[in-house]
Structure 1
Amino acid sequence: MSSSNSENTTDALIEYRRQVADLKQRIKNRRLQVWGFYGTPIIFVVTIFVWSALKVFIWLHGDIPSAVNGLFGGILFALAVSIVPQVGMEFGDETHWKDARTPVKELKLELELTEEARILEARKLTPPALERQASYKERVPGEIARLRKESRHYRRIHLFMQWLLFVSSAGVSAITAWYDPPQPGKGVLIILGFTVTVVTAAAGYFKPRERAFNLQQTADSMEQHNTALELGIAPYTQADKVSLELFATTVEELRMEQRKREQQLDQPHQGQQGVI
């Protein structure tokens, strides 16, 4: 393969990567647009329903406090104001959204075709195994950063659930001791009790604490091996070819173990015992 053909193929691969990154961002933006376009009216209707439910179940024989009316009125006004520009940007003559009236499914298909074209182009320039392993080593820090990011995400979810449980449980006791009349304390107690039940069930089902721990553990192990390879210490004290091969094998084993732990967390408790 000539040098000019190799450079052309490399430039084409870089361009395909840019197109793939752009399409992924466009899909993400379009999903947000669709969510806002269809979700805002739904939230508007749900807000009216909640406002009416508060009147029926809590303040049936009295007037709703002005602060509550003002809160719901402000929310409805903000939602109504946001609906108008979204409709204009979606169906107006001069569209301000890049992919207005474009289904997400169509963007996904374009992404798949671009990925396929990138793979076909990459076949024209297949580097030796040593170069691929060196390139893989350069991608590992990004994978470590991704694992740490997901770990922080699940850790925040776990902390949020715990604080929600703490506040709701304390609120149940406080309101029970504070309110002698049945209303509005009874309605608040129902909401807090419901919150405690839902959060407890969600924490037990999704296990955000365990997911955060597993992701952090995998990221730490991968970082340890990456540092050992860069410093040339055990177990990467041999030639570069052997060390890169061992490094790639070790990292893939760590990733496989992480996927197995994720699968175990997704299974019911009885299923986990069988797998372990």
Structure 2
Amino acid sequence: MQVLGLYGTPILLVFNVLSWFAAKNFLWLGKDMPNSAHGAFFAISAVLAAASFFQFIVEFSDEFWDWEDEGKSVASLRLDLELAEERRILEARRLTPSAVERQASYKERTPAEVERLRKESRYYRRVHLWMQWLLFFSSAGVSAITAWYDPPQPGKGALIFLGFTITVITAAVGYFKPRERAFNLQQTADNIEQHVNAIDLGIAPYVQADAANLELFATNVENMRVEQRKREQQLDQPHQGQQEVV
């Protein structure tokens, strides 16, 4: 976030200034630009300029920081991670636990898998909501600009942009299907959590010995994960391909 703010804020400042000139030359060509529009662009530029100035001061002043980046490259960090993973695998091979212990360890890792599925579900749900809101505002903007500007100049450029936005969002929603992905991920997470609670409480179907319960639990969770991957593959297929897979 620090790097994003450091480089993104000046870019937004330049984009806002360019938008200011573009609005004056395209939307109000040959006319006086309203003072409210000038004031809005100026206020946004002032805020972005102040934020950029403050961030550069903070970034390059040692007084604000009691730590310093080690300067280690990403490639070096990735190599250290791969070496640590190799050492872990070798140690695991040397001390290979029994099947029951591995199943118990698998059960302890299941809540993290549930959280991962829910996190991805929330991500796709937010993507779907943003697409839908942008689609709503773009559709409403087309109607509003068409009714406001008659003849269509100088709103023709805005109409073209909004129409392009609607087309892109509609195609993206139909292709990526974020709502369906969010629903499938949330459903799988809820089902796995139900089995976790069932084995913790010792209720059906986990009413046997501990070893048998762990084996059944691992089997059920793996089956649900396989079904989740199949649903994701079906969403990636064209409509005709989905029917053939089903």
TM-score range for the pair, normalised by the shorter chain length? 0.7 to 0.9
Residue 53 of structure 2 aligns with an amino acid whose one-letter code is V
Unaligned runs of 5+ in 1: 1-31
What is residue 35 of structure 1 aligned with on the other side? 4
What is residue 266 of structure 1 aligned with on the other side? 236
1:218 Cα deviation (Å)?
0.8
Residue 187 (structure 2) pairs with residue 253 (structure 1): no
1:63 Cα deviation (Å)?
2.8
The equivalences for 1:18-57 within 5 A come to 32-57=1-26
1:124 Cα deviation (Å)?
5.8
Identity %, equivalent residues: 67
Q: Secondary structure, in 3 states, of the residue corresponding to 1:261?
A: helix
1:202 Cα deviation (Å)?
1.8
- Alpha-carbon distance change, 85 to 115 in structure 1, aligned in 2, over 3 angstroms: farther
Q: Secondary structure, in 3 states, of the residue corresponding to 2:150?
A: coil
The equivalences for 1:44-123 within 5 A come to 44-92=13-61, 96=65, 98-99=68-69, 103-120=73-90
Deviations 1:28-83 (A, max 9, x none): xxxx3333333333333322332222222212212332222222223333333333
Q: Secondary structure, in 3 states, of the residue corresponding to 1:60?
A: coil
Residue 134 (structure 2) pairs with residue 164 (structure 1): yes
Aligned length: 245
Tell me whether 168-177 or 113-122 shows the greater mean CA deviation: 113-122
1:112 Cα deviation (Å)?
3.8
Tell me whether 87-96 or 251-260 shows the greater mean CA deviation: 87-96
Residue 123 (structure 2) pairs with residue 153 (structure 1): yes
Deviations 1:114-155 (A, max 9, x none): 444554555565443222222321222232233223223322
Q: TM-score, normalised by structure 2?
A: 0.80
2-side partners of 1:143 and 1:165: how far apart? Answer: 33
Structure 1 contact 155–208 (Cα < 8 Å) conserved: yes
1:263 Cα deviation (Å)?
3.1
Q: TM-score, normalised by structure 1?
A: 0.73
2-side partners of 1:119 and 1:52: how far apart? Answer: 60
2-side partners of 1:88 and 1:123: how far apart? Answer: 52
Unaligned runs of 5+ in 2: none
- Alpha-carbon distance change, 127 to 89 in structure 1, aligned in 2, over 3 angstroms: farther
Residue 146 of structure 1 aligns with an amino acid whose one-letter code is R
2-side partners of 1:119 and 1:89: how far apart? Answer: 43
Deviations 1:69-119 (A, max 9, x none): 222223333333333344445555567364375554444444444444554
Find 1:138's aligned residue among 108, 116, 137. Answer: 108
**Structure 1 moving runs of 4+ over 6 Å:** none
Structure 2 contact 146–152 (Cα < 8 Å) conserved: no
Residue 231 of structure 1 aligns with an amino acid whose one-letter code is L
What is residue 188 of structure 2 aligned with on the other side? 218
Structure 1 contact 89–100 (Cα < 8 Å) conserved: no
2-side partners of 1:84 and 1:243: how far apart? Answer: 61
RMSD: 3.0
2-side partners of 1:163 and 1:84: how far apart? Answer: 33
